[in-house]
Structure 1
Amino acid sequence: MRRAPRLIGALTLSCGLLVMTGLQGCASLQAHQTRALLAQPPADIPAQVALSATPFFPQSELQCGPAALATVMSAAGVPTTPDALTSSVFVPGRGGSLQIEMLAAPRSHGLVSTRIQPDMQALLHEVAAGHPVVVLLNLGLSLYPVWHYAVVIGYDLPAGDVLMRSGTTELQRLPLTTLEHTWVRSGQWAFVVLPPDQLPVSANEADVTDGRVTFERLAKPAQAAQAYRVALQRWPDSLVLGLGLGNALFASGDVRGAAEVLVRVARQHDSAAAWNNLAMARLKLGEHEAALQAAQAALKRAQASEPRWVSAAQATLDEVRQTLSGK
């Protein structure tokens, strides 16, 4: 069973304690998204939301990354503390936590980290769905950035405010315009952490797929299968999600279930990878003739249009033939 790797970029972080209210008068930055939101609030979310039960972990200096992670992981049902996460995400030489480690740490605890779309509407929709959101902010200037992770836990559209767990402040009320100013400076980077049976409401197919592929590498196979199955309910035509579910079921020992998924994926997409993995499942089930047909289909498809799979498909076909010859 093979998976294509995805690369995630990283950005060095150094948490700072710059007073955010000092940024509210920055006239050169235009909060276009916030103005549009306040002028015409979304009709499909409440005007006010406060996820008051979200845990709070006051951060010590430079520890905003572990504190933010502990907040969202505990809210997702996996209680932890910043101290327990520091060794996983804090890089002393960088004076902070890298984005790639922030995304990876929850996955090793059975939770799925997923990037959300970089816009204010996506942020508010996640919070309205009950999902605290980790945001990366630049509290400084372009020439002198001060990176900071905070957790958005609510908003008040009539007042034009957002509610956050941030630094040593358990409930920080901040103008949405200020949040947008500081968030834009980080490229509006944000993510949610959820159990594998839940999906972000705003993330697109690419981000959800990326989150689940990387989750599979660290999670138990049964958890990965659950994560893929839920995502497939929203995007049933996804080749990658279908392959992921089949592979995860195979790894969990449910070879029959893997074969049932992979045969649908192979027929739907005529994918060399799907035919190849189906052949492996059929072979393990002792269905040798069906395995041979799938392996032949995999090699044919690979030779026709997916050359990167030729070697693997040929190896699978050789293995199936060897098994048949030894019967």
Structure 2
Amino acid sequence: MIARAWRWAALALLLAAAAALGGCAAQTETLRRAPPAGLGPRVELAATPFFPQTEYHCGPAALATVLAGLSVDATPERLGEEVFLPARTGTLQIEMIAGARRHGAVATRLPGTLEALLRELQAGHPVLVFQNLGLSWYPLWHYAVLIGYDLERAEVMLRSGTTERLVMSMRTLEHTWVRAGSWAFVALPPGQWPVTAEEKAVVEAAVGFERSAMPTHAAQATLAYRSALQRFPDSLSLRMGLGNVLYAAGDKNSAALAFEEAAQRHPDSAPAWMNLASTRAELGQRDAALAAARRAVGSGDATWAERAATLLASLEAQAKDSSAPR
């Protein structure tokens, strides 16, 4: 990541060259010509904390910036020990997201559009962005935190590097961000979600957070799933995830209800019926377990057919054994 003095000295030239070679900033021009409905002309999250980076540590500094905004006690130095990879002299994107989740935040990828970034800012969410501040043939990877925009002036404001309030043209942000893969995420407390988050990203974030939070923070993981289902109530993955986290926390009655809801909404899902059958069986609800297992077998899900049949045979054998005279 950018750090050495000579790199910062050359940055202005590289950015100018990048903008010149990048072609038309299509998204910027569209946003300026026809601002989307409901998008305000200007936003700046001035209260966003700032941590100037040290050498190669733009990742830990940017991550500390978004986490500190959530009142998480995580300094760049501490995060550097967790996410910085000396062999790469930088931080991988997967480590950035994992680092946020380890500290209790739900990190969710955003759609790859400039409009999505601006709408998150309007919602009060600083956005961690990944940029290539160099050229395609000479990349200079960099993490920064987007904190504001001005559509009339076509500018954005960032916490970046050693600059607390870096004003950059929106065109340049678009070029450098798109050249780095249009990668960005928002970190929020469990129960809250980015306003632009899509279902796939929410599922990935909820599952990732669950794996980081369990078993010590089951309530937080449960909250993440329940709040996600308020937005995407028909998501099979989210309902199964909720059932699994409730089951792991020892709340089998609530887990059974979650699996039942998943099965009812997705009757062709053998795993939903199988989880329901197994959980009902553990609760001593033999008839309900057998009924669910039969639905799993009859779901037509070829991938799970053998396992569903095995489960049904096992439950039928248990029922037969328990009803035999003693």
Alignment partner of 1:180 is 2:174: yes
State how 1:139-154 maps to structure 2 within 5 Å. Answer: 139-154=133-148
Alignment partner of 1:305 is 2:298: no
Q: Distance in 2 between matches of 1:317 and 1:74?
A: 51
Q: Distance in 2 between matches of 1:107 and 1:316?
A: 35
The residue type paired with residue 121 of structure 1 is: E
Query: Counterpart of 1:97 in 2: which secondary structure?
Result: coil
TM-score by length of 2: 0.90
Partner of 1:28: 21
Q: What is the CA deviation profile of residues 284-315 of structure 1, one whole-angstrom value per residue up to 9, with x for unaligned ones?
A: 222111112112222332xx2241x3454345
Q: Distance in 2 between matches of 1:86 and 1:326?
A: 58
Partner of 2:254: 257
Q: How far off is 1:318 after superposition?
A: 4.7
Q: Distance in 1 between matches of 2:239 and 2:280?
A: 17
Alignment partner of 1:266 is 2:263: yes
Partner of 1:171: 165
Partner of 1:9: none
Q: How far off is 1:87 after superposition?
A: 2.2
For the pair shown, the structure with the greater C-alpha radius of gyration is: 2
The residue type paired with residue 305 of structure 1 is: D
Q: Distance in 2 between matches of 1:193 and 1:80?
A: 13
Match of 1:292 among 286, 290, 293: 290
Partner of 1:86: 80
Tell me if structure 2 keeps the 8 A contact 1:15–1:96.
no
Q: Distance in 2 between matches of 1:318 and 1:53?
A: 61
The residue type paired with residue 101 of structure 2 is: R
Alignment partner of 1:109 is 2:103: yes
Q: Distance in 2 between matches of 1:155 and 1:195?
A: 24
State how 1:209-220 maps to structure 2 within 5 Å. Answer: 209-219=203-213, 220=217
Q: Distance in 1 between matches of 2:289 and 2:99?
A: 38
TM-score by length of 1: 0.90
Identity among equivalent pairs (%): 50
Match of 1:135 among 129, 135, 138: 129
The residue type paired with residue 20 of structure 2 is: A
Q: How far off is 1:185 after superposition?
A: 0.9
Q: How far off is 1:77 after superposition?
A: 3.2
> Mean Cα displacement is larger for which, 118-127 or 156-165?
156-165
The residue type paired with residue 234 of structure 2 is: D
Partner of 1:120: 114
Q: Distance in 2 between matches of 1:67 and 1:40?
A: 35
Alignment partner of 1:280 is 2:274: no
The residue type paired with residue 315 of structure 2 is: V
Q: Distance in 2 between matches of 1:123 and 1:48?
A: 13
Task: Give the aligned length.
Answer: 311
> Mean Cα displacement is larger for which, 39-48 or 133-142?
39-48
The residue type paired with residue 35 of structure 1 is: E
Q: Distance in 1 between matches of 2:179 and 2:115?
A: 17
Tell me if structure 2 keeps the 8 A contact 1:54–1:75.
yes
Tell me if structure 2 keeps the 8 A contact 1:15–1:149.
no
The residue type paired with residue 286 of structure 1 is: G
Q: Distance in 2 between matches of 1:55 and 1:182?
A: 23
Alignment partner of 1:199 is 2:193: yes
Q: Distance in 2 between matches of 1:207 and 1:137?
A: 20
The residue type paired with residue 179 of structure 1 is: L
Match of 1:62 among 56, 65, 73: 56
Runs of 5+ unmatched residues, structure 2: none
